[in-house]
Structure 1
Amino acid sequence: MTQDGILYHAKSSVKVGEVERYVITYQLYDEDEGLPADLSLNSLWLKVRNLENFTFRAAYLMGPYILYCDVRTEDYHHSQRLFVSADQPKFEPMLQPQQDFIAELSLHNLKKTYVWVVDVVSQIIFTNTTQIGFEVSIGSSKKCLSKSSDCDPMVGSCSPKLNVTKLNTLDIWNLPNQLSTHASQKEHLVLLTHGLHSNVPADLFYLKEQIEKCQKYYADEQIVVKGYDKNVCKTEKGIKYLGTRMAEYIVNELYHDRVVKISFIGHSLGGLVQTFAIAYISVKYPWFFQKVEPINFITLASPLLGIVTDNPAYVNILLSFGIVGKTGQDLGLKESGKDGKPLLYCLPGEPTKRILKMFKRRTLYANAVNDGIVPLYSASLLFADYEGVVNQLKGMPEFQDKLRTTAPGDYIKRNFLSPLTKAISIWAPQKFPEETESKLPKVSVIESATSVLIPPLPDKAYVMDPSSRENVILHDRIYSEKDIPPRNSQSEKDLIESENVLLKAFTMSSEKHNQTLEEDIARKWHEGLVWRKVIVGLKPDAHNNIIVRRRFANAYGWPIIDHLTQNHFNGAESETAAHGEAQDRGTSSSPVQENDENKDIGWLDGISKPSMFDVGPTGMISTVGEIIDSLSKNNFLSKKSTTVHDLPAGPFEQQDLFSYEMEEKDLA
């Protein structure tokens, strides 16, 4: 069945981490034939509808069944000012079941061809079997779209002037490499790694595209951006588990003779996962870093020191018991392995340090404020110019009245995320702060989890006018071992006893043992290494804005990704040293030897024994969610068939609920 005025109608679906792109091309007139007498400049209209049952709006843990979608002109770039409001991008960060996203596709200029790009992104977090059905319609009027759901899906469009090209997740991530004119050249492999309850294909998609745009600076090599997507819904199984799988993927699936350079970029937990992967590769495949030159090692809001000192004792106990699985134990600095040392303490030792020295650049991006998940001291390796950062914040209007020193108990009560919330929903961002005196909002568990989908949105001026955006780079400096205060010195004492508002999460800890342990880990990261530390002041939700999780909903992070690409993918890799330091690559690239320097590598051996807490209570959501999802779709809700295809049937293995074994299938 067709409807008058409907030019295009298609149905599809997306699962966790999936993106679909629709490239809409409309030929206003044929240049060879000239302007027709009946030329119309009436706008086209776009509608994206979430087809899922209305009752699924409440099924948060089974999905959630929510979509993000946006539409923009092909030539839109956030660095260019828009003078015509009709060209302003439109987006919907939270398209719920049975809701519509409607946007006008304006034909306001006499030009031969118009091109728009529409992205539809899954917002599913907790399960890898749930899928969200949706439909995309294009009509000649807004009114005709009201009946578009009655149409049958079309093959192509009904108008010779209109062409719609559909790209799925695999197309988006692979076609640019395959179609590149550099496809036969040497490769610079760039690995992106996601955090807890996150994914690469959707959450790091914007970062991928911006890095690929830097290809213009490289005439003799191809930039290939990849990410391991098989850790989705498995992120509570521990850093060692996640890093091992990623390492095997790099060596066995991505490496080939044309790969000559490699860079690593990790967000949040991903920074630790990529570090373990590097160490694992250096031991199991010692030839790898002899053949492949390490270029960039970058982390964004990564808890490199764990998340211990700003938690009360009961939360640390919950972490050690596995409230967020083995990953929670790792981040809580729980003793592990034969030597009883925490994994995060071992991580910056050997062989990791030997390989990190080989990288030309090592850069840490850290949020100064509005990141209630990873504290500044953990993301910046503790040692930084906090006074300088505070002075920069005082120059930003939204922070001027919020940096007053408060009573210790009042500060923690008002300014930091509830510790229990943190334990349950690490890396889920916080809700947009209300107009209170709080600097960082305090939220409930549900609010914290929900705000990943509905972050505070940028206004029209921010999207259209680059000059309206403030400078958010507060601090950008190179730190070497000589910048670290000596032990038992007055400068160290000043740091530990500092009343700087940005250090409260560290200095106010009642657990001095944990505080000392985190300082020890920070010192290990600095031994013999130079780090560039970039501290930024983003609006909420800073933890996801820093990677621009969604193109427009997290647009406050655009300057950070610009800074990252301009400073790390600018064609300057031919320089002999990273941050002005000389490296003895002949020594650094040698395989791991049995000597005193790196003999303690037992923490890398094998995979820790499975336990009932390996996935934790929230980790069970993925497995139980699959059962509930299947039952609800097939039996209980009796909803109309709205998705494009049925979910594939598959056996449920009860042992997967609580434990894992490193089997061959895990490395695929």
Structure 2
Amino acid sequence: MTQKPVLAISHKVALSVGGIIRYRFKLLPCHAKNIDKLQFRIRNSAPVYRNITPSSGPWKIAVALIRNPDKLPVVPELVPSIGCAQVCRLDATVDHDHDDEGCNEWELEVLSEMILQRNWIDIKVEVYVVPRADNTIPLEAAATGNSNNSSQAEGADTEVQPQVLLPTILSCGYKDTRAICGPACPEDVLHAEDEEGLHLVLLTHGIHGSWLDMLYIKEQIDAHTKDNGKTITFLTDTNHAGTEEGIQMAGQRVAMGILEWTGYCDTEQGQQLRKAFASATSKSTTATAATTPTLTQNKAITKPFPRGISKVSIIGHSLGGLINIYALGFIEELTQGTFFREIKPAHFITLASPMLGVGFEHPWVLGYALSLGVIGQTGKDLALENRSSKLKRLTSSASSATSLSTTSSLASNKHSASLSASASAPGLSMECSLDKGPEPLLLAMARPGSASNRVLKLFIDRTSYANIENDMAVKFNTSSMMGIPSFDIDQFFSPEGAATQPKKSIYHSALVSVLALLLPQIPPRSKFLNVADAPSPVVIVEHVEAGSVEKPDGTFDTQDATTAATTGDNGKEANKNKKNKRVGSVKSTTSSNRSTSRSSSGSSSYSSSRSASPSSTSDLSTKSRLDLALLVSEGYHTDMDWTKIGVFIEHEAHVQIIVRRKWYNLDGWKCVQDLVERFDFS
């Protein structure tokens, strides 16, 4: 008979949007023989009435307990949902047969689910040790008066650290959200003005998301580049609970985050910009000044971007891909081209991003709802709504508008700028040329000659990952910009194709997406054990040359398209005629399979509904969403080549493709692995 559990560790903490905390517990070997098991109790302390206020929630947390996390394969114990005023208990048996280092270690991860507003969930975490029946040593004797010392992290606030009551028996390491999601770069490098050759990799989440969405990709890039010491991964957190305000506002916040990290805001002109933009960047759940180290103020700064960053790569999921495109154009105009002359663009990557908007592939009611502002200005942007009414509102409120004029030049190796802005006020908005026309913002960004389009062309490579199926939010045609020339989606779902399941209706996909959000499925143990041998979800990789856009008859011009690896690992033997090819610094494989030139849009009704070329510049208000989408696609394919990657994930694919939750979205691990190995982030 076991004895009564003894409280060993207690911790009260609060989680907000994108909140995650991790504990590393280690049972000291000298006491392991006296302990039967550990009990982990996690309480959601939010009041019970919060369960009926989902509009400001959902007020739930998820838990993962991993034994010996440094040993592979890892099989976690998962609790996908703990509601308000509920308690979860997990028991872990102590291993008495092995006394080697690390045999009795556990990692406990607690994270918040999607929260639509900036609220907090109170959490209480307790760990109990249960002595063995024959243990004659009272555990209370092992307790010491100074219980906090063993858990204090260097530089951390001691008031928020776990309270360790039995430090000689159980040790506890703790990391909060900022420590987990922060940059993978030593502060001394960020403060070193003479450091050169750093590669900044920016990751941007989508609508109603948080920086937690992109954490898995960040951690994989960090692990893959840990030996070079030149890569900084930066998760943007400026748009938490603010993604409905429109691509313009979200993109400006991301742009300011980039300028902060490159050190531009440490210069004299940058400090003025930071002050003027203070209210516009206030959406971050953690203050930018607190997460972004600044250079020594007493040291003269002579470089426009003094942190030694020489390359930048941009990765965006869903709406984040469009936010990034706007941010690039905004930075280009704000710095008058200085940024991308000094810092070279490397990789531009989108993951399930609605590059052509939303609505032309969905039921008409969705596009209509978005155009009415169901999800704010962002919905109108995605529905490719004309912005003339917005501009009228701006004109009528000219008295409160803010103007920004910036001139930048490089002369005698010195960067000078003049910045004039009205006093900082709530709702501060700085507009660039992308915001001055009445046409849809997505079309304005894609237009050849626009600031965003010009910067996109500067990247060594541009890559779009597109879900072929099971993505209710972003369909294949918009994320792949009207498909992949040699890929036949109908053939893929035919009996002799590579798909392991038939093509689903849009209503089935919607139901699966909703259930995946409300009732997350726990992957079976066998899946974790065999993940290394699982097939890759990457079905096709193709390099599409500039100008390979859809013709009026619904087909693609593929004479200049270079096709790459096709349906290899989803049950069909990979094409054996492969050779390595280098596109910029992208690592990809090619094949000679060009058996079809059918558009992967898979719908002849698209072409039959059109009587004129998509490049027509007639009144945009008379054009359908499909016509506008084709115009956007044409803009991105003019003088600009792309690598298009088709991904087939059998379950809800929109969050799986980025592994929004590490242990629950297991099907996307191989897709992230493909991204990390395909690109050189060093």
User: 5 Å matches for 1:171-320?
Assistant: 171-174=179-182, 176-178=184-186, 185-186=195-196, 187-200=198-211, 202-218=212-228, 221-255=229-263, 256-285=306-335, 286-320=337-371
2:64 paired residue number: 70
Distance 1:159 1:257 in 2: 41
Distance 2:472 2:6 in 1: 49
1:99 paired residue number: 87
Distance 1:93 1:386 in 2: 40
2:505 paired residue number: 415
User: 5 Å matches for 1:586-665?
Assistant: none
Distance 1:27 1:306, change over 3 A: same
CA contact (8 A) 1:9 1:138 kept: no
Distance 2:604 2:98 in 1: 55
Distance 1:490 1:260, change over 3 A: closer
1:22 paired residue number: 23
Distance 1:370 1:232 in 2: 26
2:381 paired residue number: 330
Corresponding position: 1:469 with 2:550: no
User: 5 Å matches for 1:98-137?
Assistant: 98-104=86-92, 106-107=94-95, 109-113=98-102, 114-137=104-127
SS for the counterpart of 1:140 is strand
Distance 1:501 1:161, change over 3 A: same
SS for the counterpart of 2:654 is helix
SS for the counterpart of 2:314 is strand
* Residue 119 (structure 1) shift: 1.4
1:441 to 496, 506, 509: 509
CA offsets 1:164-200 (integer angstroms, 9 cap, x no match): 0111111223374237999865421111111111111
Q: Give the partner amino acid of 2:15.
A: V
Distance 1:353 1:111, change over 3 A: same
CA contact (8 A) 1:95 1:101 kept: no
1:606 paired residue number: none
CA contact (8 A) 1:372 1:416 kept: yes
Number of aligned residue pairs: give it.
507
Q: Give the partner amino acid of 1:90.
A: E
* Residue 384 (structure 1) shift: 0.8
Distance 1:521 1:154, change over 3 A: closer
CA contact (8 A) 1:247 1:278 kept: yes
2:626 paired residue number: 515
User: 5 Å matches for 1:40-59?
Assistant: 40=34, 42-59=36-53
CA contact (8 A) 2:476 2:483 kept: no
CA offsets 1:474-517 (integer angstroms, 9 cap, x no match): 11111112543555686579xxx979785589679899732222
CA offsets 1:257-289 (integer angstroms, 9 cap, x no match): 322211111110000000000011011112111
Distance 2:253 2:29 in 1: 50
Distance 1:216 1:395 in 2: 44
Question: Structure 1 stretches of 5 or more lacking a match?
Answer: 30-35, 144-151, 404-413, 418-439, 572-668
1:454 to 519, 536, 547: 519
2:549 to 484, 498, 501: 484
Q: Give the partner amino acid of 1:214.
A: H
* Residue 47 (structure 1) shift: 2.7
Distance 1:356 1:441, change over 3 A: closer
1:653 paired residue number: none
CA contact (8 A) 1:388 1:475 kept: no
Distance 1:264 1:7 in 2: 44
CA contact (8 A) 2:326 2:445 kept: yes
SS for the counterpart of 1:458 is coil
Distance 1:521 1:258 in 2: 35
SS for the counterpart of 2:243 is coil
Distance 1:506 1:235 in 2: 31
* Residue 59 (structure 1) shift: 2.6
Q: Give the partner amino acid of 1:216.
A: K
Deviating more after overlay: 102-111 vs 166-175: 102-111
CA contact (8 A) 2:543 2:644 kept: yes
SS for the counterpart of 1:216 is coil
Distance 1:504 1:120, change over 3 A: farther
1:628 paired residue number: none
Q: Give the partner amino acid of 2:453.
A: K
Distance 1:540 1:136 in 2: 34
Distance 1:291 1:396, change over 3 A: farther
SS for the counterpart of 1:522 is helix
Q: Give the partner amino acid of 1:129.
A: N
2:303 paired residue number: none
Distance 1:142 1:100 in 2: 23
Distance 1:154 1:490 in 2: 61
CA contact (8 A) 1:310 1:505 kept: no
CA contact (8 A) 2:492 2:498 kept: no
* Residue 57 (structure 1) shift: 2.7
Q: Give the partner amino acid of 2:675.
A: L
* Residue 110 (structure 1) shift: 2.9
2:445 to 347, 350, 353: 347
CA contact (8 A) 1:23 1:116 kept: yes
CA offsets 1:135-158 (integer angstroms, 9 cap, x no match): 232423799xxxxxxxx9972241
Distance 1:473 1:312, change over 3 A: closer
TM-score by length of 1: 0.69
Distance 1:302 1:468 in 2: 28
2:372 paired residue number: 321
* Residue 13 (structure 1) shift: 1.7
CA contact (8 A) 1:383 1:484 kept: no
Deviating more after overlay: 480-489 vs 305-314: 480-489
Identical counterparts, % of pairs:
23
CA contact (8 A) 1:14 1:122 kept: yes
CA contact (8 A) 2:5 2:131 kept: no
Distance 1:280 1:169 in 2: 29
Distance 1:393 1:142 in 2: 57
Distance 2:126 2:492 in 1: 46
User: 5 Å matches for 1:367-386?
Assistant: 367-385=467-485
* Residue 391 (structure 1) shift: 4.5
SS for the counterpart of 1:104 is strand
TM-score by length of 2: 0.67
